[in-house]
Amino acid sequence: MIKCIATDMDGTLLNSVQQISSANKEAILKAQSQGVEVVVATGRSYQEATYVLSEAGLTCPVICVNGAEVRSKEGDVLSATPIGKQLAREVAARLTEKDVYFEVYTNQGAFTIDPDKAVSILVDIVMSANPEANQAEIIEAAGARIRDGLIQTIEDYELLFANDQYQIYKFLVFSFDGEKLEAANQALADLEELAIASSGHENLEITNREAQKGIALESFVKERGIDLAETMAIGDNYNDVSMFEKAGRSVAMGNANYEIKSLCDVITDTNVESGVAKAILEVI
């Protein structure tokens, strides 16, 4: 019997316009009404994740920033696994040297030094993954990252590294140049304290080695007296693999690539077909 369901957001719970479908919402509410713990496990910041959840009228615990932070459904921080400040400085220096755009995720949200690029990159990513989507709607949704303060603008990332009120959770690197992205990856390869994952062909997600979705999920269910064998994980990309390896039932989205699908027990429908709802309803 499944007692906990962990679902990724982008490419999984969210459709092509970054929203939760009514079918997915109703399936989550039904699972919660039956006592099943539903937790969102995402690379997004807590602020970005709850923005979308609140729009849909849902309240869930959140494993955010790939496991660097875990929050209760009330928003209380249950755990935090940041990157040390000196290591963060080193990461930023190496990424800057490789001339790749990156954002910095903290305990107080995500930051960019180039807000126009923050929007345009998201539009390009969503449109490439969903060519049938309405571009005007995608641009409007992407612009909300800036308008609603989901990603904040800062002049220099050093202002975050030098201020004790900020904990550094993740670096999110974007490039549509595969060689540049690989060069950035290789530039960080010797930093053993880091975990480097990806939620798409055009990005790298850099966190503390212990900040991974699977590690966070294992701790989350253990604290609630739930066995990993009673846990289902749903996702579509490489930053979900650590969950697939831990959960008793692993579910790949229909829009996931072949390699991700080959790792999972079950393949559900795509994110635009409310595949999360189908996966949930099959086990409750």
Contacts 24+ apart (CB under 8 A), 93-101: 94/184, 94/187, 94/188, 95/171, 95/173, 95/184, 95/187, 95/188, 97/187, 98/180, 98/183, 98/184, 98/187, 99/180, 100/173, 100/174, 100/175, 100/180, 100/181, 100/184, 101/173, 101/174, 101/175
DSSP assignment of 182-204, as one string? HHHHHHTTT-TTEEEE-SSTTEE
Q: Is 177 tagged catalytic?
A: no
At a CB cut-off of 8 Å and minimum separation 6, what does 146 contact?
115, 118, 119, 153
Among residues 131, 157, 243, the alpha carbon closest in space to that of 197 is found at 243
* Catalytic site residue from 8, 10, 236, 240: 8
Q: Which residue has the tokens 């693999």?
A: 241
In Å, how far are 30, 144, 154, 250 from 150, measured between CA atoms? 29, 7, 13, 30
Reported as half-sphere exposure (CB side, CA atoms, 13 A), residue 42 has a value of: 25
Indicate which residues carry an active-site annotation.
Answer: 8
